[in-house]
Amino acid sequence: MLELKAQNVTKHYKEKTAADHISFTLKNGVYGLLGENGAGKTTLLRILCGILMPDKGAVTLDGISIHKMGASYRTLLGYLPQDFGYYPDFTVKRYLLYLASLKALPRERALTRYREMLKLTGLQEEEKRKIKHLSGGMIRRLGIAQALLNDPKILLLDEPTAGLDPKERIRFRNIISSLGHDRLVLLSTHIVSDVANAADRILIMRRGKIIEDQTPDALLQTASGHVWEVTASPQEAEAIQEQFPVCNVRTEGENLRLRILSRTCPSPHASQVQPDLEDAYLYVTENREVC
């Protein structure tokens, strides 16, 4: 089993610290890296890929620096950036086989993996189409296919569901869940539902720091007892929103149904409810203001 370790990883951009003394250890399984846009997730993934050098700290695989490993590390790696490069006039087949050659896959192995990736991502019917004629969701699926071509033992995915419709998101989550048993998968996203049912561990990143690193169940426990729901008139709802963090608002006739984060009961008519992962994520990232 591989062990990927970040040790005190730090990266500065002028006056901004994109990665601030980050340390963690990852083994086989699926990990969710959650954080708002600008939290530093992409910078961290680029450091883990070896594309960026940290200003301080190191990334090691089984105790060896990934930069010393060089090409031997890259053979183990699959990476899907937010905006991956492709040639618009290439067909799906030509593009994937071209990338297979760049990854140094033998011809027969390349053809086998190519067919497996088409089936896995549901692109069998599109193999002869030029990429410029694909939908945004199909292009994203193509990106997932190319990241998996070399059957990587370490898979790093940066906002992989961008552009996918709800059905495709479900397909993607099922793919990721099936991959985690024999490899290390790190999925970076700002969408809680992307990792809710797939991740074994969730790392929450804010302003360049990892502020939580827990299992989904442990993360839910942090918000237990702090989530409430209440039905209120628009005027009452406005007053509540001025005092408490509100996770969700929905209309119920002439009233509003509010889901609220609060240590104490926010209204005489409020009832305590079980938190979901989105509640827990908001609880943690709101500077724990409700503590």
* Domains of the chain by residue range: 4-216, 221-285
The pLDDT value given to residue 191: 87
Tell me the percentage of the chain whose pLDDT exceeds 70: 98
Residue with tokens 């509640």: 279
The pLDDT value given to residue 287: 57
The helix (run of H) or strand (run of E) holding residue 259 is strand 255-261
pTM: 0.89
The pLDDT value given to residue 290: 36
Pseudo-torsion of CA 228, 229, 232, 234, nearest 10°? Answer: 90
Instruction: Give me the residues of the chain with pLDDT under 70, please.
Output: 287-291
Fold of 4-216: Rossmann fold (3.40.50)
The helix (run of H) or strand (run of E) holding residue 16 is strand 16-26
Residue 92, helix vs strand vs coil: helix
Phi and psi at 234, nearest 5°, equal -55, -40
User: Facing residues of 56 across strands?
Assistant: 10
User: Facing residues of 228 across strands?
Assistant: 260, 272
How much is the mean pLDDT over the chain?
A: 91
Report residue 290 CA to chain centroid gap: 26
Query: pLDDT of 176-214, one tens digit each?
Result: 887 777 899 999 998 898 888 889 999 999 999 999 999
Q: What angle do CA 275, 219, 232 make, to 5 degrees?
A: 20
